[in-house]
Amino acid sequence: MSNEDETKNQQEQAPQSDKPTRKSIPVWAATVGMAVTLVLGGGIGYGAFAIHNAQQATTTTAVPAEMNKVVKAYATISQNYYQSTSSQKLINGAISGMVNSLKDPYSVYLQNQDATSLNTEISGSFGGIGATMEQRSSGVFVESVNADSAAKKAGVQAGDQIVSVDGKSVTKQSLNKIVAKVRGKIGTKVTVGVKRGGHTMTFTMKRAKVTVASITGKLDSTNKQVGIITFTTFTDNSGKEMKKVVKKLRQEGAKKFVLDLRGNPGGVLDQALAIDSMFLKNGQTILKVKSRTGAAEVYKAGKKYDDGFKITEPTVVLIDGDSASAAEITAAALNEQANVPLLGQKSFGKGTVQTVADMGGGNELKLTIAKWLTPNGTWINHKGIQPTEKVDNPSYANIPAITVTSMKEGDANKSVKSLQRALNALGYDAGTANGYYSSTVTAAVKAFQSKEGLTATGEANEDTISELVTKVSAKISDNDTVMKAALTKVEGMQ
């Protein structure tokens, strides 16, 4: 799923990673997810901040004599391998090998596009045309156009179907692939062909910097005194976004807040420090960071982080198994220091900190350099944070990912089992979820296709799976038991 909507849509400029969950969206809905596989929800949270001058090359240390073996291996391969190979390929391979030997999933040698993608994720901005796209059964359509964007100025309109990018047809391509083609380097041009009212037209636009908010807020639909603040990640802009959202909600009447950190993989740690400091009294500990040598460094709330902006309203925080890294730092700090209740499920459990070193040539080394501890001194790595009040989601909110694009009668695999569970959740009898595509499943798929206006073949093709994701996602959103519990909790707080 994208970050923007439960109904399978996303900013053309922001397919961020295979992030499996969004707030109240099941893991299997990640067919539109994020393009950066280094920041996985419930997995590889990213924490970059200025210990040892983050984003700068690390200090050169003495090279041990044993490194001569690496030089000899390089010389032997480059001179004697039966095919010519580039020196850069061998060097990158050597670096990757060293990093892989650490067996640390958070330490990664990033090359070219991966490095660019990580930097995009951290900054929260990228090159695009300023339009949000959505997947429908008949193709990919423009859902909305940002004001003052390249798309708006060119004449792109909501409802346009995307049919080509740079002269090549994309009518049979997925949302993810089309988004990747439209997005690109700021200042470059892209030509997008659309179909509108039976006519086809093209628009050539210059990609511009587009920023997607990592934090959004709205008033609860039933209690206008409760502001619901949703965090998708922590980017370089999150601190400023938090202040803006809180001020807006206060003006609209909010007197209490629910912070939704579910599915949040973490992000830039100094932004977590800024946000956490807003909720704590000056001098209270936010977290402790301990490298392999020396005593733990303590980070405390204060004006240097929050600029004097404080949030004192009653607050509840939501977490789940995909809340990781900086999201866990926030949950722990607010709970242990401000007695903020945590509702949901146990968090992921990522208690390490990474920094990024520029390796030259567009390559970067993301390396674990320390572990972080909660204010009480607890290391949550591989353990997670237990909620103060455990609230489970409906069973259909945890359906595993459908990893294929089509299924038919006679197939037997895990994706069929997810298909069965999804159909059953929507009231279609797909039988026992055993992973076998029987005639019962075929009948259920046909019934679903007929009701949704799809060709009733009984085979689960890409359009059928897409529509199924949309419907189940909507049902999960309508039956968000964790959010309902949080609203009840915060309404009773003074």
DSSP per-residue string spanning 130-159: SEEEEEETTEEEEEEE-TTSHHHHHT--TT
DSSP per-residue string spanning 220-278: -SS-TTEEEEEES-B-TTHHHHHHHHHHHHHHHT--EEEEE-TT---EEHHHHHHHHHH
- Of 350, 371, 417, 471, catalytic: 350
What CA dihedral angle connects 37, 121, 272 and 32, to 10 degrees? -60
What residues contact 106, with CB distance under 8 A and at least 6 apart?
Answer: 44, 45, 46, 350, 352, 354, 366, 368
CA–CA dist 223, 204 (Å, integer): 45
Does residue 4 have an active-site annotation? no
Report yes or no: 386 and 323 within 8 Å, Cβ to Cβ: no
425-434's contacts with Cβ under 8 Å and 24+ in sequence apart are 425/394, 425/395, 425/396, 425/399, 425/472, 425/475, 426/468, 426/471, 426/472, 426/475
Burial environment of residue 276 by CB neighbours within 10 A (0 to 12, 13 to 18, 19 or more):
buried
Q: Helix crossing, 68-80 with 87-100: angle to 10°?
A: 140
Report yes or no: 280 and 337 within 8 Å, Cβ to Cβ: yes
The two tokens of residue 367 are 């390396």
Residue among 47, 4, 39 at smallest CA distance from 19 = 39
Q: Which residues pair with 214 in a beta bridge?
A: none
What CA dihedral angle connects 332, 103, 44 and 330, to 10 degrees? 10
Burial environment of residue 308 by CB neighbours within 10 A (0 to 12, 13 to 18, 19 or more):
exposed
Does residue 336 have an active-site annotation? yes
CA–CA dist 457, 450 (Å, integer): 9
Residue among 150, 126, 320 at smallest CA distance from 235 = 126
- Of 325, 415, 438, 473, catalytic: 325
CA–CA dist 205, 162 (Å, integer): 14
Whose tokens are 């996303």? That residue is 10
Does residue 238 have an active-site annotation? no
Residue among 326, 349, 358, 353 at smallest CA distance from 57 = 358
Residue among 479, 477, 466, 321 at smallest CA distance from 29 = 466
- Of 6, 12, 336, 467, catalytic: 336
CA–CA dist 62, 151 (Å, integer): 53
Known catalytic residues are: 325, 336, 350
